[in-house]
């Protein structure tokens, strides 16, 4: 509900098996699972466990999924909020929410805090703004920085944030001890798409003519979210037609619909084209 901006999910069931493709990202992020599961292994040798990692990539590529999978693999709670939730907030509310989130997280540690669309709060702080000006977004960002500095590296909290605009982020966020690790989560290539199709085809009743390789070849430019969408649409189309299994015709129509939807979205973004 809108009343709480973050949910503490006690038990996350998503694991790396649910995340297809993204082999490099998974390999890099495995390190964070280790930090959460065996912190002493690292701190005993005097190492400081990183506090945050930034997942960078276009929409729908599985950043949220990957962050959840880390929680699932490590068996720790997952707290999330979205930067865009702060955009229209009353004075003081954003900063209070951030403090509240970290307070809850400290009680539940080890755990993960996930901040989606961090660029919405984490944009570079205005240069033109008067010193001491009371910009609510900046207050929220400042409170995030304060909270990140305020817990010890061995407190068991790891903050993951997602963005497709790392270039606009305030450099303070990227300093050592904050989001000092960046992990790319790119759109899948043909092999990655095939793997993602396989994940999302699994729950469907399929006709014999369905070939994940063929579906992958027909969906260049699709992100994981669109592939998931195609699979679900195809199942709904087949059901509407009273079929017993989802066949290639249904997928063809589902792909056309999703492509149509994407084109419409692009037109809205750049009407001159």
Binding residues for ligand ATP (CB under 6 A): 19-22, 59-65, 116, 162, 196, 199, 224-225, 228
Q: DSSP of 142-194, one letter per residue?
A: HHHHHHHHHS-TTSSEEEEEEES-GGGB-GGGGSTTSEEEEEE-PPP-HHHHH
- Please report where in the chains the tokens 């003081």 appear, as a residue: 92
Shortest Å distance, C-beta 75 to ligand ATP: 20
Smallest distance, Å, CB 60 to ligand ATP? Answer: 5
Q: Min. distance of Cβ 199 from ligand ATP in angstroms?
A: 5
Q: Whose Cβ is closer to ligand ATP: residue 52's or residue 62's?
A: 62
Q: Give the strands of the sheet with 52-56, arranged side by side.
A: 7-9, 78-82, 111-116, 157-163, 52-56, 179-184
Is residue 86 helix, strand or coil?
helix
Backbone angles phi, psi at 152, to 5 degrees: -75, 150
* Smallest distance from ligand ATP to CB 225, Å: 4
62 annotated binding-site participant: yes
Q: Which is nearer to ligand ATP, 35 or 222 (CB)?
A: 222
Residue 63, annotated as binding a ligand: yes
Q: Which is nearer to ligand ATP, 49 or 246 (CB)?
A: 246
Nearer to ligand ATP, 58 or 260 (CB): 58
Q: Does the annotation place 94 within a ligand binding site? A: no
Assigned token pair, 204: 């469907």
**Helix or strand (DSSP H, E) at 111:** strand 111-116
Q: Which residue lies nearest ligand ATP, judged by its C-beta?
A: 224
Q: Which residue has the tokens 């970290």?
A: 102
Task: Output the smallest distance, CB 244 to ligand ATP, in A.
Answer: 25
End-to-end CA distance of the chain: 38
Cβ proximity to ligand ATP, 51 vs 63, nearer residue: 63
58 is in an annotated binding site: yes
Q: Which residues are annotated as a binding site for ATP?
A: 57-64
Q: Which residues are annotated as a binding site?
A: 57-64
């Amino acid at each position: 509900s809108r009343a709480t901006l973050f949910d503490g999910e006690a038990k996350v069931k998503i694991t790396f098996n649910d995340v297809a493709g993204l082999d490099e990202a998974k390999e890099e992020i495995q390190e964070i699972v280790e930090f959460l599961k065996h912190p002493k292994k690292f701190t005993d040798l005097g190492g400081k466990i990183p506090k945050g990692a930034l997942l960078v990539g276009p929409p729908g590529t599985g950043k949220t999924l990957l962050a959840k999978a880390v929680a699932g693999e490590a068996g720790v709670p997952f707290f999330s909020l979205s930067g865009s939730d702060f955009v229209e907030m009353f004075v003081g509310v954003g900063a209070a929410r951030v403090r509240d989130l970290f307070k809850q997280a400290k009680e539940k540690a080890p755990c993960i805090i996930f901040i989606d669309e961090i660029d919405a709060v984490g944009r570079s702080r205005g240069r033109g703004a008067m010193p001491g000006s009371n910009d609510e977004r900046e207050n929220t960002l400042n409170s995030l920085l304060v909270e990140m500095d305020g817990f010890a590296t061995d407190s068991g909290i790891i903050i993951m944030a997602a963005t497709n605009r790392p270039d606009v982020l305030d450099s303070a966020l990227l300093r050592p001890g904050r989001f000092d690790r960046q992990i790319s989560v790119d759109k899948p290539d043909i092999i990655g798409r095939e793997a993602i199709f396989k994940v999302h085809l699994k729950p469907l009743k399929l006709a014999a003519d369905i070939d994940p390789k063929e579906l992958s070849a027909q969906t260049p430019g699709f992100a994981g979210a669109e592939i998931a969408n195609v699979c679900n649409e195809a199942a709904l189309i087949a059901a509407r037609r009273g079929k017993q299994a989802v066949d290639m015709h249904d997928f063809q129509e589902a792909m056309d619909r999703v492509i149509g939807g994407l084109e419409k979205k692009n037109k809205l973004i750049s009407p001159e084209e």
